[in-house]
Amino acid sequence: MPELPEVETVRRGLNKVLKGEEIAGVEVLRQLSIGHPDAKKFAKGLTGKAFTTVDRRGKYLLINFKDGSGLAVHLRMSGRLLFLKETKPKGKFLRVAFKLKSGKQLHFEDMRVFGRLWYKEPALSFEEIIPTLGELGVEPLEELTGSYLHKVFKNKKQPIKSALLDQRLIAGVGNIYADESLFRAKLHPQTLAGNVTLTECNRLAEEIISVLSQAIKLGGSSVRDYTDSDGVNGNYQNTAYVYGRKGYACRVCQTPIERVRIVGRSSHFCPSCQKRKGSR
Ligand SMILES: [Zn+2]
């Protein structure tokens, strides 16, 4: 599933290529992919719009147009945006096609159809059409600190791994980067969030920021069928310490990496580098 670094990579790519482009026409091939309003109004509303900038909040892409309207995109499990410089045959999983006045195209493909696109009328805010946007926690690359983590983890009886995945606490961190950050901060994923000290929270905040920044530099991860806006796979996966490495030797101490399920999500860790404490 695309996480913050993948979405940020897409944002940067789109921000470059969409500047100055205008939408000539929109074809919705799958109504389910449209979150707001309905497919007909979505296509009509976006036709003729001129792109300005592309922002990101958590894993949401927020695309802005000259007249104050907007297009929000959440890729979820398998969504991807492809910027096509020339006409190509329609992909099997094409859900929405944007024809641009320049002759180029922007395709939204989504095998599993969990991804969503929302058209924002100029008078509305993105939060008004996507309520969960307003509930998102801090942006890790802009506002995350150890003392913030310590404050929101306080008294929490849930494993730190599941607290890290809670989008209302931190926006955009998913399974891969939660596992990687916990490894780097030497914290066992089943440690109860409320038992993590301020010193450990400081270390964890630093590692979250560092692992996300590194992944952005490498162009995100290619764990799933994720590609950036030009269709290029990311490279983060090859540098992971624990994610997807069950049974392989820890890159630090050679102990085999283990995998456990925590609140329904698989969690990878090194039992030697990440000693368990304060858990039952
Ligand atoms: Zn280790």
Domain 4-135: give its CATH architecture: Alpha-Beta Barrel (3.20)
Q: How far apart are the first and last CA of the chain?
A: 30
| Catalytic option among 127, 251, 265, 271 | 265
Asked about 265 being catalytic, the answer comes back as yes
pLDDT for res 235:
59
Burial of 193 (0-12, 13-18, 19+ CB in 10 A): buried
Q: What is the spatial distance between Cα 87 and Cα 107, in angstroms, rounded to a whole number? A: 11
Class (C level, CATH) for 140-269: mainly alpha
Instruction: Report which secondary-structure segment, H or E, holds 231.
Output: none
Q: Where are the alpha helices (DSSP H) in the chain?
A: 4-18, 39-46, 126-129, 131-134, 140-143, 146-153, 160-165, 175-184, 198-217
CA of 246 to the centre of ligand 1 (A): 12
CA of 181 to the centre of ligand 1 (A): 14
| Catalytic option among 2, 5, 140, 189 | 2
pLDDT for res 222:
46
Q: What is the mean pLDDT of the chain?
A: 91
Q: What is the spatial distance between Cα 231 and Cα 233, in angstroms, rounded to a whole number? A: 7
Phi, psi of 225 (to 5 degrees): -90, 45
Burial of 242 (0-12, 13-18, 19+ CB in 10 A): buried
pLDDT for res 279:
44
Same topology between domain 4-135 and domain 140-269: no
pLDDT lower than 50: segments of the chain: 222-233, 279-280
Report yes or no on whether pTM surpasses 0.85: yes
| Catalytic option among 11, 59, 203, 245 | 59
Q: Report which of 97, 18, 10, 9 is spatially closest to residue 52, judged by C-alpha positions.
A: 18
CA of 150 to the centre of ligand 1 (A): 25
Asked about 59 being catalytic, the answer comes back as yes
Asked about 89 being catalytic, the answer comes back as no
pLDDT for res 91:
86
pLDDT digits (tens, 9 = 90+) for 220-274: 654 333 444 444 445 566 789 999 999 999 999 999 999 999 989 999 999 999 9
CA distances from 202 to 146, 151, 171, 196, 208 (A): 4, 12, 18, 10, 10
CA of 279 to the centre of ligand 1 (A): 19
CB distance 61 to 83 below 8 Å: no
Determine the Cα angle at 138 with ends 137 and 141, to 5°: 145
Q: What is the spatial distance between Cα 260 and Cα 239, in angstroms, rounded to a whole number? A: 21
CA of 255 to the centre of ligand 1 (A): 5
Tell me the domain boundaries of the chain.
4-135, 140-269
CA of 155 to the centre of ligand 1 (A): 29
CA of 243 to the centre of ligand 1 (A): 13
pLDDT digits (tens, 9 = 90+) for 40-60: 999 999 999 999 999 999 999
